Chain A
Amino acid sequence: GDSVTQMEGPVTLSEEAFLTINCTYTATGYPSLFWYVQYPGEGLQLLLKATKADDKGSNKGFEATYRKETTSFHLEKGSVQVSDSAVYFCALSDSDAGNMLTFGGGTRLMVKP
């Protein structure tokens, strides 16, 4: 079956540091890939997505590139802010499974001033 693996947290960074959160996946079909962000006490918000190989999703300074050859979708940001502190989830939706989302376990990011 499908699965998503992302690095365990928490990840603690100082403000303006570079962020990478690793995400790898296995899928039987041709998945679309997503990053969601969850701020404390809130639901998940779509951060960015990529729907085919070599696509780059970007939003709010975050980027992730769909790498089919390495089955990866790593999240990056060049300079994090305190307001980026949240839990980040990598997820896939497989073309063989309609619009069912499979999530990774989540990575908590803490950014210190």
Chain B
Amino acid sequence: DAGITQSPRHKVTETGTPVTLRCHQTENHRYMYWYRQDPGHGLRLIHYSYGVKDTDKGEVSDGYSVSRSKTEDFLLTLESATSSQTSVYFCAISESEYSNQPQHFGDGTRLSIL
């Protein structure tokens, strides 16, 4: 299995508070991704990174920011959490940008915003 660790695995917080989720990889892969999983929607891309300090927006980026200061870590921040951001968040990594290369996923973070 790909070495991907997400933390925390579960979190409950209140509306308006800041939240940071961490993804740590031991594979030295260049590409990292954050997705959210909601019923009926599959997974939707929030942000991705193609190198240290290189990030870009995905399909559902509003309300989220990311940072990547080291190859192994990719942080997702909700500056002021809202109930609509209650979801399961997955980090993924990929060795290259080629479309035939699969992504490998972490075990997810279940985030509940009350």
Give chain A's interface residues, CB within 8 Å of chain B.
4, 29-32, 34, 36, 41-46, 49, 51, 89, 91, 93-95, 97-101, 103-106
Cα–Cα distance between A4 and B59 once the two chains are bound (Å):
15
* A44 lies within 8 A of B100 (CB): no
Can you offer 9 A-B residue contacts whose CB atoms are under 8 A?
A29-B99, A32-B100, A41-B107, A42-B108, A51-B100, A99-B97, A99-B103, A101-B103, A105-B40
Q: What band does the interface of chain B fall in when counting residues whose beta carbon is under 8 Å from A?
A: 20 to 34
* A99 lies within 8 A of B99 (CB): yes
Q: Which residues of B contact A94 (CB under 8 A)?
A: 99
Q: Which of B41-49, B64-72, B76-84 contacts A (4 or more CB under 8 A)?
A: B41-49
Cα–Cα distance between A89 and B97 once the two chains are bound (Å):
21
* A44 lies within 8 A of B44 (CB): no
Specify the chain B residue showing the minimal Cβ separation from A43: B105
The contact of A4 among B42, B48, B103, by CB within 8 Å, is B42
Closest 4 CB pairs of A and B: A103-B42, A43-B105, A93-B99, A51-B100
Q: Which residues of B contact A104 (CB under 8 A)?
A: 42
* A98 lies within 8 A of B99 (CB): yes
Cα–Cα distance between A10 and B50 once the two chains are bound (Å):
36
The contact of B43 among A41, A89, A98, by CB within 8 Å, is A89
- Residue B102 interfacial (CB < 8 Å): yes
Cα–Cα distance between A31 and B96 once the two chains are bound (Å):
15
Given contacts A100-B48, A105-B40, contact A46 B102 (CB under 8 A): yes
* A100 lies within 8 A of B58 (CB): yes
Q: Which residues of A contact B42 (CB under 8 A)?
A: 4, 89, 91, 103-106
- Min CB–CB distance B37 → chain A (angstroms): 8
The contact of A45 among B43, B44, B105, B108, by CB within 8 Å, is B105
* B43 lies within 8 A of A99 (CB): no
Specify the chain B residue showing the minimal Cβ separation from A49: B102
